[in-house]
Structure 1
């Protein structure tokens, strides 16, 4: 019997997966589950599962990073990814991680899960029959991305360039020529919002990296690295009077941009560094590019080129330059005045641009303003993943696009509340069921059974009816109740958690902060 480990940061989803199929009938045993990526690493070493089913959008260490670590420890492990994204097929085209399947949570059926697991079991059985199944080459291929990134970081640190070039050769990377050129690629986060959720950011970044790697196969000498700062492209070439290698690098970057727009519907900004670098210059040039990335915050354009001698623009402290716009934006949200809001945002952007305000201070200003407005008007809808994206924006347009999108959602939320839209009768029945089982750990299967509906149909129906999955709806409802309990009673946080069906206080605090924007203890102190 093969062992299966489940990983998802929503505890009800773990229960749902356990209930969805007859595991024993498939010759499988769920040996453990966890909502924590840190705990998952510990369980993986202890339980040694054959198959791992993991959510991608995990906090701290996402599912892709977990899978890479699992594969490093045990290359035979089969991986099935879960994602909430309904338009996941865009990203799936670009993913090349050695996983067995990708399943969409909101559309997950027992038949889909069983088919995916049968494929894993068949793969495991076939592997047992193959001698020397894990060759050095297979192991190298599985860990190529990690080894490549380690190589690049050694290059940046400096040292023996000959040793670095030799290490690259062992990874199948040929750096034969004396000259190098660097480029950085940064996601435009505002371009994600119409189609993706903020929690999908790790998935989209990995997809961009795979697209760039695939395109690089058509350009000799270009190697791609998936750095925390963004996409890094390193071009090794031999200077020639007949070939314009700067133009060739730009052609490559433009093709990556076009593919990302075509397959993922996202925009990637490119920053191309100076040419004719020696191997020993790569580290300083990369650090310079990172500084220029910050300094190009106000520079328009999807593809920028910087020569090694270009002067860096100076940015000024924020001070009190945007206090008037801050009041105007707050007033516009309070008054639900969309035209006034858009005008105030344009005014803030123009002031920031004309004054050359420090980008880090401007971004922090937008974060603080938005958190204040969300706490006032929509405390249940706070997304920490969204704020992580906002803080990672690299241009004024991206920052203001993110801010505008969220503020307009706030206006929509306020409008819906003020209209007092009546809920459909079946949704009222679901609300009654949740209220009657407020202190139980219920799942969408329980709700579907209560309504005498097929669980897969119920999941699709509920998402269409409310715009979110049942787990998010349930958590948000419970956290609203928890907030009132914390305000009105003297019960401890642990007791509030237990009364709402959360046996683990740490998990309860994590869920509370996700939907309320603060921890239970901080909320009570306010």
Structure 2
């Protein structure tokens, strides 16, 4: 709704216009009325209207002076002059000020001013639509320039070293052409990118918003730095490096990056981090960018909102993360079995601190966590309510898309809380909670020797009563059920791991391998070795 200001030293005229004009019907808001130009100008400095209707002859400041000063603040202000004067001099001055109408009070009709206001409103709406279209067009052009820069650099980075020699002489659609001077390349990435982008319509819109803020900061810093988006959550800044000893290159760079961090936090509530490369000649920039792209481990373990120099040497930990797998799997199994969500954060924090201290390879960390989750999935597979909500493919895709330790930690905590919530709800909704609890106990302790007495004791039930109840609800005896679960688990281990038959036997709590093989053959129709061999051939 567009806002109107009325200014006239004739109060009856003000009262007449304010009360008789159908403001709401015209989709306008009468913002304020004033009896002199000075008062109107003071008010407009804080609350600028879209439309000004003013008399000419007023004390302190006349209408033409008021119009001129208000148009200096808002050039597209729409103005109608009310006057008792029909002289050419006044009309000429109004014309120079780009006044939309010059209305004589003596001949003024209410329909005339209503028609004027309706026309002005339509013009404002049309101008607004034109501005929006122009802004969209400018954004498209600017976005295409960003995309062109990224495409240009990807072609340079991924082409053969021979072709990189004179790359900086190339022109491209974005207008980019590098000067013959050293630069400090730096890798930029949004912290917690996976979650932050969810607040925007699309990933492209999110990245473009970030690019605009960074571009504005670089322009204001007057650094001649070059910014371009490279690929998903990886962008680069080429910061000019001055060889003069008088220049504090890293001081200026650090100031610009801090301003960038402040602006992104203020306008988009986004945190950004940087890894700085070494001062580099133009012809060697592709190689330095390639080195920064290889800083995956440093990037993975970095704290949020950090400015850091590139690690020169990254040594592998002398510990094997998978040697701690069984311990973590046992703790996670107990955590799920206890159904206490307050234990999830301490469990995840403990293991992530361990991984942070040893800086294991990020791919190894992801593989380790994925294996933990799949282990829980397999243990809970016998609980029918859980199967549809824990897809291996989705887990794999999600964990691959995560690029930092902090994101991975948050994702794992949410994932485990979701698992715990589903299992707890399913147990609560089960027709027979004792049987559901018994099935959960079997799933969580599948690697043990399980007896009916042990489970009945856990449920505080008489063993004979539990045996009859289980057979009635499940349709098979407890012993048959446990055997079925263990044999299905054996098939999964043979399919998905390289464990020997002996290891599979041990993992399922059997101390006699011959007995295990006999049970497996009776259940599946072939021995474990034959079963795995048949799968390999397929």
TM-score (norm 2): 0.45
The structure, 1 or 2, with the larger RCO (C-alpha pairs under 8 Å, 6+ apart) is: 1
Q: Which has the larger radius of gyration?
A: 2
TM-score (norm 1): 0.46
